[in-house]
Amino acid sequence: MGRGWGRPGHPTGGPARAELLRRSNLALVLGEIAAGGRGARAQLAERTGLTKATVSSLADTLIATGLVVECDPDRGLVGRPGNPLRLASTGPVGLGIEINVDYVSACIVDLAGEVRSFAALPGDNRTVAPGDVLERAARLADSLLASPAMSSRPVAGLHVALPGLVDVDGVLRRAPNLRWLEGLEVAARVGEIISARSARPLGAVGAGNEANLAALAELWFGDSTDLDTFVRVSGEIGVGAGIVIRGALWGGAAGLAGEIGHVLVDAGGPRCTCGARGCLEQVAGQEAVLAAAGIDTARQPSTDPVRALLASAAAGDRATQAALDRAGSALGVALAGVVNVVDLPTVVLGGVYAEVATWLLPALARELADRVVSYSWAPTGVAVSRLGARAAVRGAAGLAIRAVLEDPGSWPSGPSRVRTRRPQARATGTDRSAGPT
């Protein structure tokens, strides 16, 4: 006996009220403007299917709340073309922070998703007191917000990208490479430090896994406009993945999906930071590859390990090339498993993997071809990300803006409202029409 139909889904999730309808239409019109449709009210009415009077009223609200501005009519048009609407360049910004194993970074994006400000501070966070790292991250973000160009811009929200499992309350539950952060509400703590320094409202505050946020950045800001279903694997000291299905992040039951770094690739392999043996991270993580290549950055702490790895591979060093080949093969084995289980047409390499893709790709492609069961008629595509080291922090900042685009009726929010908001995972099957492009 099954469980029956349960309670079928409903477009509005409950009784449809006029207010809900208006908020939904507000998002529809703003989404159309954000998608680059530089149209006047009449064209927006045509494109959205709303009446001109409704569009006009919604546009007035968007202008009054500072999200949209009205421009002069485009020259050369005959008749009365009307004033085109576009996203306000003085509108709210999203603030992202990333705290990773060997750096902290901060990023500000505008309503269009463009990076307005970015800064990173390298340094091994495994050996620093937790309070110091949170303080350093907050100071870095505060310095970006205090710049002349940003000091008057309202902040839509703050999201923090973290190298571990973040639960629904914004608590970092597990971070094998940054144990001291476990159990902390990192985003709320960083938000409090920034607010105390600048007395500036930060909007909704939340935290998420860095690989998931990097996958969202790939979806919104990556090169390919038709990439909407993929797994993006990020190589750093830890290895993580974010899965996007039909334009929405797939987080699993509790938002914890994508922990590819702890998938078994070598049963007899070395002990991992998670406690198990033979995890992907122990073969294809940045430190494992450096060790296998014989590159000892501990002796020269000022050397950028990834630059050293690239130089050694490009110089034809056999140990380095063999280490990268082995990493590519292990990655291919793990990714083939993901592709077989979830059915994904494309694999995207990000982080360090994007930089060393030349040496990873042959073995990786070979494993996918050998192991993906649908490969003979639907070969898995492999793409290399061009977002660089900013992907996760840009995704974090973008998430704050995305929340405004999805529900512009909630903007502007009340003063000094600091609350933890679960960031990423949405049900699959929704579209991305309101996303910045």
Structure tokens at 110: 């505008």
Q: How many residues bind Zn ion (CB under 5 A)?
A: 5
Nearer to Zn ion, 35 or 276 (CB): 276
Q: Closest separation between CB of residue 260 and Zn ion, Å? A: 10
Q: Give the nearer residue to Zn ion in terms of CB position, either 276 or 310.
A: 276
Q: Residue 243 interacts with Zn ion (CB under 5 A)?
A: no
- The answer to the question of residue 274 lying near Zn ion (CB under 5 A) is yes
Q: Which of 85, 165, 272, 309 binds Zn ion (CB under 5 A)?
A: 272
Of the pair 174, 366, the CB lying nearest Zn ion is at 174
Q: How far is the CB of 201 from Zn ion (least distance, A)?
A: 40
Q: Does residue 262 interact with Zn ion by CB under 5 A?
A: yes
Q: Quick one: 235 or 398, whose CB is closer to Zn ion? A: 235
Give the residues across from 165 on adjacent strands.
174
CA distances from 275 to 75, 179, 283 (A): 66, 13, 15
- Least spacing, CB of residue 264 vs Zn ion, in Å: 9
Q: How far is CA 359 from CA 46, 263, 282, in A?
A: 50, 22, 18
Tell me how far CA of residue 323 lies from CA of 261, 289, 314, 315, in angstroms: 17, 6, 13, 14
Q: Which stretch binds Zn ion (CB under 5 A): 270-278, 290-298, 339-347, 375-383?
A: 270-278
Q: Could you give the CA distance from residue 204 to residue 302 in angstroms, rounded to a whole number?
A: 37
**195 sits in which H/E element:** helix 186-198
- Nearest CA to 101 out of 364, 329, 302, 287 is that of 287
If binding is defined by CB under 5 A, does position 177 make contact with Zn ion?
A: no
Please identify, using beta-carbon distances, which residue of 187 and 283 lies nearer to Zn ion: 283
> Do residues 156 and 94 lie in contact, with contact meaning Cβ atoms separated by under 8 Å?
yes
Give the binding range for Zn ion (CB under 5 A) out of 111-119, 164-172, 279-287, 325-333.
279-287
Give residue 27's region: left, alpha or beta (phi > 0; psi -120 to 50). alpha
Is residue 279 close enough to count as binding Zn ion by CB under 5 A? yes
> Which of 244, 352 has the CB closer to Zn ion?
352
316 three-class SS: coil
Question: Does residue 245 touch Zn ion according to CB under 5 A?
Answer: no
Cβ proximity to Zn ion, 274 vs 418, nearer residue: 274
Contacting residues toward Zn ion, per CB under 5 A: 262, 272, 274, 276, 279
